[in-house]
Copies of this chain bind each other. A is one copy, B any other.
Amino acid sequence: MASTSSGSHIRIGIVTISDRASQGVYPDESGPAIVAVLREFIAGDWTPIARLVPDERHLIEAELCRLADDDGCCLVVTTGGTGPAPRDVTPEATAAVCDKLLPGFGELMRAVSLKSVPTAILSRQTAGIRGRCLIVNLPGKPKSIRECLEAVFPAIPYCIDLIGGPCITGTDCIQVFRPKV
């Protein structure tokens, strides 16, 4: 299961966390928006594994663990559930399943969003490492998703190198950075 045939060994989990989208009240636009941005940024083959879960902490934790441990994702990106409302528990679920947290992701995404809206400080998004998987929380809105991915994606391939994951190559649309050794 760790690697199949051709270049499809890069698996990326995309988890939409939303009570209403998971109940079919409205369609999930955020998950497809993430896939579209990652297709722009990542050169070569990769396989998205998309999931849709309600804002229940134990279900989010179970899904993150499944994608990291069983599906062999080197990257899991979440959308939704990072605000201050009672049902917003994505950062807590993320922290609970991670071995270590990377506070710089949340700091940078909030700083970038703050240029557009002062309510960016209400976002509690974080990132962390679980085994060989990087988990990153993105905001819920498609416009903010692109903005945040543009900010943090340049550091993601090197991060995945450091935790023993596959080599991700960036396209001309984004400036991926790897320090010279």
User: CB-nearest residue of chain B relative to A126?
Assistant: B103
What chain B residues lie within 8 Å of A100 (beta carbons)?
Answer: 84, 88-89, 91-92, 124
> Given known contacts A92-B100, A106-B103, is B163 in contact with A84 (CB within 8 Å)?
yes
Give a binary string over A85-96; 1 marks a CB under 8 Å from any B CB, 0 the rest. Answer: 110110110000
Copy number in the complex reads: 3
> Given known contacts A162-B122, A177-B117, A179-B117, is B110 in contact with A84 (CB within 8 Å)?
no
> Given known contacts A119-B155, A177-B117, is B83 in contact with A162 (CB within 8 Å)?
yes
Interface range on chain A (Cβ under 8 Å from partner): 35 or more
A101 at the interface (CB under 8 A from B): yes
> Given known contacts A84-B134, A163-B86, is B106 in contact with A122 (CB within 8 Å)?
no
**Which residues from 107 to 145 on chain A have a C-beta closer than 8 Å to any C-beta of chain B?**
107-108, 110-111, 114, 117-124, 129, 134
A84: contacting residue among B107, B114, B117, B159, CB under 8 A: B159
What chain B residues lie within 8 Å of A104 (beta carbons)?
Answer: 106, 110, 120-124
User: CB-nearest residue of chain B relative to A108?
Assistant: B121
Give, as a whole number of angstroms, the nearest-CB distance from A168 to chain B: 13
Give, as a whole number of angstroms, the nearest-CB distance from A140 to chain B: 11
Give, as a whole number of angstroms, the nearest-CB distance from A133 to chain B: 11
What chain B residues lie within 8 Å of A175 (beta carbons)?
Answer: 118
Q: How far, in whole Å, are A111 and B123 apart by their CA atoms in the complex?
A: 17
Q: List 10 A-B contacts (CB under 8 A).
A: A84-B134, A84-B159, A86-B99, A91-B100, A100-B124, A103-B110, A107-B110, A117-B179, A119-B159, A122-B155
Given contacts A88-B100, A122-B159, 4 further A-B contacts (CB under 8 A): A100-B124, A103-B110, A104-B124, A119-B159
